[in-house]
Structure 1
Amino acid sequence: MKRRRTTAVLLGAALSVAVLVTPAGAQPTQTGVSTTYQLNARHNGSMVDTAVGAPPLSQKWSRDLGGSVSYPVVADGRVFATAVSPDGYGTTLYGMDADSGNDAWKPIDLGGTFRWSALAYGGGRLYAQNYDGVLTAFDPATGKEIWHVTLPGQYSFTSPPTFAGGIVYTGGAGSGGTLYAVDAASGSMLWTQPVANGDNSSPAVTADGVYVSYACEQTYAFAPKSGNPVWHHETECSGGGGRTPVVADGGVWIRDDAGMTPSVLNAADGKVRGTYEAASGSPAPAFDGHQGYFVDGGVLQERHSRTLAPRWTFEGDGRISTAPIVVNGYVYVGSRTGRLWALNGATGQSVWSTDVGAPINEPDEHNVSQPLAGLGAGGGLVVVPATNLLVAYGK
């Protein structure tokens, strides 16, 4: 089921045992744990994991999960992912041993009206959310349910959850939109706030703000603990849907979905800092310090995060599809042809590539017929969802 497309305007120029959520202008520190889409609460695709050796890497295992596979979360010696259930209805949660890829516990039916679900991790718990707004906390070691809550007031849930500071943040839509903050230990509701639409935008979280972005650049910042509004960036157009923002180098990088030039907003006040080139449907950029990595038109380009000057371009096979991630200074991207590359982040030189064995899908943020796809890493592994396969690489 495809979500609706919307109009746009052109503007001018996580906290866990192993994740530190730092102020908006500082760089994140993450060691060996991925907590959500694009690795961390900022969604900036950046990770330091000394257990992941320099490429070339070797395939450690491959699993066919029988349906389209989500972005993986890697923590506690496990790899977690959801996949479209083999019978074609709802999704299934898998917890796999990171060393072998074997099931660590029996797969769990997450239910849901559509074939969408998403994961987050933090505070020693795994969190899964389905399309119907059922948010469930699991023990990652055993798969046992700890609590679940049905998020109130909405009926369409397509925003992957984010864990930070003992709170799970997510959004819902259907009747307007709502941003939710849920106590990660108990499942109790801490606060809610109305937003323009509530679709598709996984909250990006720092110590200073919870950021969500919807069509026509409707972007909000809220105080993480209280939910009090901090700022609201809006334009003169309106529409539904959203896309996951990225917080990096003091900016909130937003992407509208109608082919217009996306903006970079100041994280502190929401004012437009500039714009950057990205075609409609381009995946989220990744950042490593001042180095930004952008996939646009099937190629990867490195740009300075302040000047946006391009410094190198990698074309690959011209069909690069994934949102990039950066692990220990190496940039990983995948292609619709099933090719995975590791590049030197400073020079753009390809240092390794491999055939994963199936097409690596783009992160379609407007499609509820499958879970959101994306690369993952942690615990010494780089993990790739490739259509129905989940493939792990390491030393």
Structure 2
Amino acid sequence: MTTPSIQRGSLRFAVVTDTHANPDKPVRLELLPRIFASIERHDPAFVLNCGDITDYGDRSEYDAYLSTVPQSLRERVWHVPGNHEVRWDVNAAQLYRELFGPAPYRMDRAGLQVVGLDPTQLLQEPGHFGAEQLRWLAGNLRAATPGVLFLHFPLGADHYHLNDQDAFFETVAGLPVRAVFAGHVHRETVYRFNGFTQVTAAAAKNDAVYYWVERHVDGGHPVLAVTTVRVAADGSESRQELTTIPLSGNGSGRLLEPGRVIIDGARDGTARVRVEAGRDGAAAGVRAQVYPQHVFGARAAGSWVELEATGRSRWFSGDVDVADLPPGRHRMQLRVSSDGATHESTRAFEVPAGPGALRERWTATLAGSVQGALAERDGVVVAGSTGGEVAAFDAADGRERWRRELGPVYRGAAYTADGAVLVVPSADHRLTALDAVTGEPVWDRDLGAPVLSTPLVTTLGSTAAVVVSAGRTLSALAAADGGELWSADLGGFFAGRAACDGERVYAGSGDGYAYAFDAGTGERAWAFNTTARAFPYGRLLYGPWDDTVELLPGGLVLFATVARSYAVDRASGAVRWDIAAGCMYPPTRATDDGLLLLDEWGRLQLVDPASGTTTWRTELGVRTLNAGPVVAGGTAWVIATTGLLAGVDPGSGEVGHRRQIGPANTFSTPAVTGSTLVVADQDGTVRGLTLPQ
């Protein structure tokens, strides 16, 4: 069978995505050479890879992927990372950057601005652009040249993989973005909205498929013609025209941007939404819904309300049910459509709180996102950010005590026993001890790999110590000066927090095992296998790689994975009880009533630590990752990933308080001191809230 010729134009390039190269999956590695050989034959100006190059960012996977790319294409393939490159990356994306360079970036090619974006988040599943990257985009796209963007996560069209995609829409509203290529969903779709055409591509892990893009003139206007190409085992190709993307004019849907938007009556259980259609675009329909904040890194069709046109005016109006919304900040999502094009946007609105509710007292902002737990001591709360800022605030009034710039911080800091020193982990390989009063450095230690775990401050023998993991090594350091006491091979990546009972140190690992080490020497005492998965990728996903290990009464230690939680005998490593609750991400909290176990799906239960017997269960109804409960005034406070703060009675499981703190996702365990609860989110916002009496 002969290979069909591809029409030559003024610019030709290819798009591929979701290769998921893994030497343990040879079928995928048979597809990729076929794809790249076909692309090479047609001699593109460049190739765009929209991410998920590998399964989990291991060197062996990158090597396997690169072995399938012909040498003549190596310098022409431009990459952006996917969530699989960074979610479990022990290298904190350093290996990716060494191989492919940093993102975002822009290149000018034959009258196009080609921009690679990176909204992935280290240690997290969904995406987030963040203010810094959006400022970069606004400052680097020229107004006069058509822009082609590529990234891993798709935008709009029922996709909620990017928590701040509405901020992206606002950023590019006046910029010449005409085409967006994305992956992640492993499905081929075309969506025209907000002035550009988005193509999501089928996954190369499942089929020998890629996309061929040619610029040419159609009816006197420049366009990009996109063709789906599938490559058979014998190298022959089948081609199907997918879409044509205009490069000039206003772009599909841009003129549909609404004018005024009025949201009234949220306090009465129904919000009256009135939308003024834009003057320059004839709106055929307008829909509204409460932004589905509960949808976390996924797709959802939503609960849209069709707004009705008001007479012959440009106004559309309708009622949206908000009766089940908690008090606090929300978003109304709007879609204006006409002739196959759409404009998407959001507007903020608030559901007022009743008397005696939580009240926001103060706010502060750090560069980047706050992912790690907040540290608290004597009324002072410390937050660290992925932007490399660490700051201390008075919990009562938000007054900033000090601010220090370090490397990117992804996990929480820890106070020493006397409260004089704060130990901070960072992705620049360093563990830094700061004076708790001034923020001045006391000592720092280069651990040779990104420090992506929460430090444990403990005592080993008679020595005050810090136990932390970096790379695949667990290290015990003297708290006084950072000197090494011992180190141990963890066998895999560990981003959680170890535990110590004076005799042994306990830690999870991405190799699927839970380990105990001699507290004095670091020698391995025992290993407990938490998963039946055979291959490294599966053992990583289903092992205790991100567990906050907890000591339990009666000589037990609690390990958790995404599937089960295990109470293990500290001396022998034998399982004493286990439950089918994946409580790895949110830390567990011991109370006078029992053990509060929270899983990533928002299921909270009170468990007897001796037997594993459950007293009660409560469904919060939203995802909860990395942020565990804190207890104050007889209430357990849980902040969900969606920004919902819930107050739960530890004795009964009854939810007595609910408040939507804001639109940003939250991964940070709060801190509580006195009458103030402090929370922080991925927008870098730190908030002090007055607890109800």
Of Structure 1 and Structure 2, which has the larger fraction of its residues in helix?
Answer: 2
Quote the offset at 1:5 in angstroms: 3.1
1:303 aligns with 2:568: yes
CA distance in structure 2 between the partners assigned to 1:393 and 1:209 by the alignment: 35
Task: Say if 1:197 and 1:241, in contact at 8 Å, map to a contact too.
Answer: no
Distance change (3 Å), C-alpha of 1:4 and 1:288 = closer
Amino acid at match of 2:456: A
Q: Does 1:183 align with 2:183?
A: no
Equivalent in 387, 399, 411 of residue 159 of structure 1:
411
Deviation at 1:210, TM superposition (A): 0.6
C-alpha deviation, 1:162, in angstroms: 0.8
Task: Please show how residues 343-382 of structure 1 align to structure 2 within 5 Å.
Answer: 343-361=607-625, 363=626, 373-382=627-636
Give the CA deviation at 1:4. 4.8
Structural mapping, 1:40-59, within 5 Å:
none
Q: How far has the Cα of 1:209 moved from its partner?
A: 0.7
Q: For 1:330 and 1:338, locate their aligned partners in 2 and report how far apart those are by CA, in whole Å.
A: 18
**Pairing of 1:332-343 with structure 2 (within 5 A):** 332-343=596-607
What is the alpha-carbon distance in structure 2 between the residues aligned to residue 202 and residue 117 of structure 1? 8
Alpha-carbon offset, residue 295 of structure 1: 2.3
Cα gap change, 1:357 to 1:106, in 2 (>3 Å)? same
Q: Which structure 2 residues correspond to residues 183-332 of structure 1 after superposition, within 5 A?
A: 183-207=435-459, 208-216=464-472, 218-234=473-489, 242-248=495-501, 250-257=503-510, 259-279=511-531, 280=540, 281-282=543-544, 283-289=547-553, 290-315=555-580, 322-328=586-592, 330-332=594-596
Q: Which region of structure 1 is more displaced relative to structure 2, 320-329 or 373-382?
A: 320-329
Equivalence map 1:131-170=2 (5 Å)? 131-151=386-406, 154=407, 156-164=408-416, 165=418, 166-170=420-424
Q: Aligned ranges for residues 122-137 of structure 1 at < 5 Å?
A: 122-137=377-392
Structure 1 CA distance for aligned equivalents of residues 617 and 503 of structure 2:
33
CA shift, 1:321, in A, is: 5.9
In structure 2, C-alpha distance between the alignment counterparts of 1:313 and 1:292, rounded to whole Å: 11
Deviation at 1:249, TM superposition (A): 5.0
In 1, the alpha carbon distance for the partners of 2:481 and 2:374 equals: 24
Decide which of 64, 68, 89 is 1:5's aligned counterpart.
89
Alignment equivalent of 1:110, drawn from 357, 362, 366: 366
> Which string of whole-angstrom CA distances, capped at 9 and with x for unpartnered residues, describes residues 220-271 of structure 1?
1111122222122247x8x8774422223522222222x3423211222211
Q: Find the aligned partners of 1:320 and 1:243 in 2 and give their Cα distance.
A: 9
In structure 2, the CA distance between the partners of 1:205 and 1:249, relative to structure 1 (3 Å rule), is same
SS at 2:522 equivalent: coil
Query: 132-141 or 280-289, which moves further after superposition?
Result: 280-289
Task: Quickly say closer, same or farther: Cα 1:329–1:133, change in 2 above 3 A.
Answer: same
Aligned-partner Cα distance in 1 for 2:629–2:384: 19
- 1:188-240 residue CA offsets vs partner (Å, 9 max, x unmatched): 11001110223321110024211111333x121111122222122247x8x87
In structure 1, what is the equivalent of residue 638 of structure 2?
384
Verify the 8 A CA contact 1:320 1:333 in the aligned structure 2: no
Q: In 2 relative to 1, CA 377–183 (structure 1 residues): closer, same or farther, beyond 3 Å?
A: same
Shift of 1:185: 0.7
User: What letter is aligned with 2:371?
Assistant: W
Is the 1:359–1:386 Cα contact (8 Å) retained in structure 2? Answer: yes
Measured at CA, do residues 244 and 141 of structure 1 come closer, stay the same or move farther in structure 2, by a change above 3 Å?
Answer: same
Letter in 2 for 1:263: Y
Q: Which amino acid aligns with 1:116?
A: Q
Task: Give the alignment's TM-score, normalised by structure 2.
Answer: 0.38
CA distance in 2, matches of 1:328, 1:184: 30
Residues 357 and 234 of structure 1: is their aligned pair in 2 closer, same or farther, counting only changes over 3 Å? Answer: closer
Is the CA contact (8 Å cut-off) linking 1:319 and 1:337 kept in structure 2? no
Partner SS for 2:359? coil
Identity within the alignment, % = 21
8 A contact 2:371–2:411 mirrored in 1: no
Structure 2 vs 1, CA of residues 179 and 133 (structure 1 numbering), >3 Å: closer, same or farther?
same
CA-atom RMSD in angstroms: 3.2
Which sections of structure 1, spanning at least 5 residues, go unmatched? Answer: 8-63, 70-84, 87-98, 364-372
5+ residue gaps, structure 2, are 1-82, 92-290, 297-329, 332-354, 532-539, 652-693
Q: Is the CA contact (8 Å cut-off) linking 1:159 and 1:198 kept in structure 2?
A: no
Per the alignment, residue 172 of structure 1 pairs with 426
CA deviation after TM superposition for structure 1 residue 104, in Å: 4.8
Shift of 1:351: 0.9
- Equivalent pair of 1:198/1:242 in contact (CA under 8 Å): no
Please say if residues 451 and 471 of structure 2, whose CA atoms lie closer than 8 Å, have aligned partners that are also in contact: no
Distance 1:310 1:284 in 2: 18
Q: TM-score, normalised by structure 1?
A: 0.65
The structure, 1 or 2, with the larger RCO (C-alpha pairs under 8 Å, 6+ apart) is 1
- Conserved? CA contact 1:215–1:242, under 8 Å: no
Residue deviations 1:117-163 (CA, integer Å, cap 9, x gap): 54101133111111122111111111110111112xx4x32131111
Matches of 1:172 and 1:321 in 2, distance apart? Answer: 19
Give the 3-state SS of the residue equivalent to 1:227 in structure 2: coil
The verdict on how the C-alpha distance between 1:319 and 1:127 changes in structure 2, with shifts beyond 3 A counting, is closer
Residues 356 and 297 (structure 1), Cα distance of their counterparts in 2 relative to 1, 3 Å cut: closer
